[in-house]
Amino acid sequence: MKKLKIGILGSRGIPNNYGGFEQFAQYLSEGLHKRGHEVWVYNSHKHPYQQSEWNGVHIIHCKDWEYKFGTAGQFIYDRNCIKDARNKNFDVVLHLGYTSDSVWHRRWPKNAVNMINMDGLEWQRKKYNWFTRRFLKRAERLAATHGDVLVADSIAIQEYIKTTYGKTAHYIPYAADIFDKPDIRQLKKFQLQANNYYLLMARMVPENNIETIIKGYLLSGQTKPLLVIGDTGNRFGKYLVSTYNRPDIIYTGPVFDSELLNNLRYYSLRYFHGHSVGGTNPSLLEAMSCSCDIIAHDNIFNKSVLGNDAGYFIGEGQIAELLNENKETTITEAGKKSNLEKIRTHYNPGKIIDAYENLMLNSLRH
């Protein structure tokens, strides 16, 4: 089997200290390295991990101006990563997303297979104004048109790309590891009791329906605390903290300790997943892998993963009803077991790494 030289760009870097793309880049790069491939991941120069190698994966730090210029800095960061990748003689360059990447498609490495993970429908995100949404729709078209190989992390995204652009995208979802070693001592960090709190974990953006979840929780009259994990330093996060500043709502700020996060998921009474845009969301898979009792936003992406093994909401009234329902414990346990089985059989890291490796190898043969 041919050993590949692979570049992965489009994330803030590894080890994960940010979000879904970073978590994916972490386990994919390590998995491909263990299969004998030479793997390079591009990191922001502001990433807290400053070594040139992590678990056998090469790391390239590129100048990232987002900390200074905000969103506009992402375009400069992507351009810097692409510029470096042109000189590395990669066999395959995996672009994670297209938001600030596809505008540089003319600069993509010419002798490499440019594989694009198409992510979700970025132009549908509520946080963007009309002009930005129009730009993101164009960026999506550029990525779909100029990418050598397209990857969709959900069947819905795959069908959308086929219908909209007449292009075939290969369906490969994200993955998660089964969490089966709980440690109740981890709850002491936030003075919590097992199965006696609700959990919400997300980026503080409107399309994650955080305010709807908080309103539904308050409407329910429940006295058990709601733990909200995420960086509240942005405008929307500050608004939430100031508007819903109550002792029963605990804002933790960002948490990146995977052991702590998994235990918080595992011991939660109910887990809220409000994401409404995108494909197979990594945080949802992680909740499933931790045996969470999930209440999810009612949309095609979440339903394609959870099926009948979750409660669903659109508005705060439905959340209140779900929190106050008198459920049969056996039904809850059956849903948890079903979600765990999906992780084992469909969203298994080894299976996902195999799928990417095979797609990369096959793309070089054509």
Which of 344, 340, 339, 336 is CA-nearest to residue 293? 336
**Spatial separation of the C-alpha atoms in residues 258 and 14, rounded to whole Å:** 14
The residues, any chain, with a CB within 8 Å of residue 317's CB and separated by 6 or more, are 216, 219
Backbone angles phi, psi at 156, to 5 degrees: -65, -45
**Spatial separation of the C-alpha atoms in residues 215 and 218, rounded to whole Å:** 5
pLDDT at 68: 76
The two three-digit tokens of residue 365, written as one number:
């043969």
Q: Which segments in the chain show pLDDT lower than 70?
A: 120-132, 327-331, 366
pTM of the model: 0.88
Q: Are 200 and 227 in contact (CB under 8 A)?
A: yes
Give the HSE-up count for residue 231: Cα atoms under 13 Å, Cβ half-sphere: 8
pLDDT at 330: 58
For 110, 141, 301, the CA distances from 169, given in Å and listed in that order, are 21, 13, 16
Q: Tell me 141's DSSP state.
A: H
Q: Which residue's entry shows tokens 């305010």?
A: 211
The three-state secondary structure class of 120 is: coil
Stretch (H or E) spanning 272: strand 270-273
**Domains of the chain, start order:** 5-173+348-364 (3.40.50.2000), 184-345 (3.40.50.2000)
Q: What angle do CA 35, 101, 165 make, to 5 degrees?
A: 90
**Spatial separation of the C-alpha atoms in residues 242 and 139, rounded to whole Å:** 35
The three-state secondary structure class of 250 is: strand
Q: Is the dihedral of CA 260, 261, 265, 268 positive or negative?
A: positive
Task: Give the number of other CB atoms < 10 A from CB of residue 331.
Answer: 12
pLDDT at 21: 84
